[in-house]
């Protein structure tokens, strides 16, 4: 899926009113190009999760402008009407824990999104298998989530995030439960997928091991994001 990645201008989020108001985001600017993977780092309470929730169309920003792919989703109070469809079609999510649906097998976990979008089951499953093959977990296609290792579960979760070919993927600490080797493997997969599908990916992380792999990093502190060049070491 080609698109224009992520474009954020002056994004603000305030919780509460008056003296008790908390300014979680104080005018964040951010650009992520299609096919690019950027890191989003910062201490606890800095505003990472708030930014991710705004980008994920889960909460409304107070002000600013957000463009995902080729669609303006928020512009100073105006927002896209059908946020559910937006999340389904434009945004892929990869969570800290895989959160696979325990009663669906691997294929159906991945195929669920296109099925919910109305694509016939057989086509949705074919799409899912294609992605599982790309992520090298096709041999576990009929397994239940409880039968998978942590790394396999996370790869299936990535496949689920990618299955609708969204222009944007938001990954919330996707390597947190994994050891170094598996964490690096997940980041490599995200990079491969970003290139292959021209997807803009934001990875929120605390993981010191993977931070050096990003070419660009946004440091967020007290609701303000600063762009830094990453080391971009690649994957040894």
Partner 1 sequence: MISLAGRDILHSWGKFVFTGVGLGLLIGVTLSMAGIYRGMVDDAQVMLNNTGADLWVVQQGTQGPYAESSSLYDDLYRNLLNMPGVEYAANVTYLIMQVGHGEHDVSTMVVGVTAGKPGTPGQPRYLVAGRHITRSHYEAVADITSGFQLGERIRIRRNFYTVVGLSKRTVSYNGDPMVFIPLKDAQEAQFLKDNDALVQQRRRNAENPAFNRPGIPDLLAVVNASQSANTYVNAVLVKLKPGTLPEDAAEPIRRWKRLQVYTRTQMESILVDKVIAKSARQIALFLVILSIVSAAIVAFIIYTLTLGKIREIAVLKLIGTKNRTIAGMIMQQSIALGIIGFVVGKITATFWVPIFPKYVLLEPLDSIAGFFAVLTICALASVVAIRMALKVDPAEAIGG
> Footprint of partner 1 on this chain (CB under 8 A)?
48-50, 52-53, 56, 58-59, 84-89, 93, 95-96, 99, 101-104, 108, 111-113, 115-117, 121, 144, 160, 172-173
Q: How far is the CB of 202 from partner 1 (least distance, A)?
A: 12
Q: How far is the CB of 211 from partner 1 (least distance, A)?
A: 18
Q: How far is the CB of 110 from partner 1 (least distance, A)?
A: 11
Q: How far is the CB of 98 from partner 1 (least distance, A)?
A: 9
Residue placing its CB nearer to partner 1 in the complex, 19 or 146 = 146
Residue placing its CB nearer to partner 1 in the complex, 17 or 84 = 84
Residue placing its CB nearer to partner 1 in the complex, 48 or 127 = 48
Torsion of CA 224, 231, 236, 41, to 10 degrees: -10
């Amino acid at each position: 899926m080609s698109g224009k990645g992520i474009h954020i201008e002056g994004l603000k989020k305030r919780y509460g009113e008056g003296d008790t108001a908390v300014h979680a985001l104080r005018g964040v600017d951010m650009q992520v190009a299609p096919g690019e993977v950027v890191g989003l780092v910062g201490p606890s309470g800095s505003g990472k999760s708030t930014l991710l929730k705004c980008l994920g169309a889960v909460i409304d920003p107070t002000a600013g402008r957000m463009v995902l792919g080729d669609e303006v989703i928020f512009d100073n109070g105006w927002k896209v009407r059908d946020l559910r469809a937006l999340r389904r079609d434009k945004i892929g999510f990869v969570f800290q824990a895989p959160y696979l649906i325990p009663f669906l097998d691997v294929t159906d976990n991945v195929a669920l999104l296109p099925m919910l979008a109305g694509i016939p089951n057989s086509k949705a499953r074919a799409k899912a298998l294609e992605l599982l093959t790309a992520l090298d977990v096709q041999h576990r296609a009929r397994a239940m989530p409880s039968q998978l290792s942590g790394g396999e579960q996370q790869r299936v979760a990535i496949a689920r995030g990618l299955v609708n070919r969204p222009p944007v993927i938001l990954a919330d600490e996707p390597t947190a439960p994994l050891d170094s080797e598996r964490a690096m493997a997940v980041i490599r997969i995200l990079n491969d997928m970003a290139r292959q599908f021209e997807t803009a990916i934001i990875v929120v992380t605390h993981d010191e091991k993977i931070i050096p792999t990003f070419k660009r990093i946004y440091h967020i502190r007290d609701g303000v994001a600063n762009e830094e060049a990453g080391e971009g070491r690649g994957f040894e």
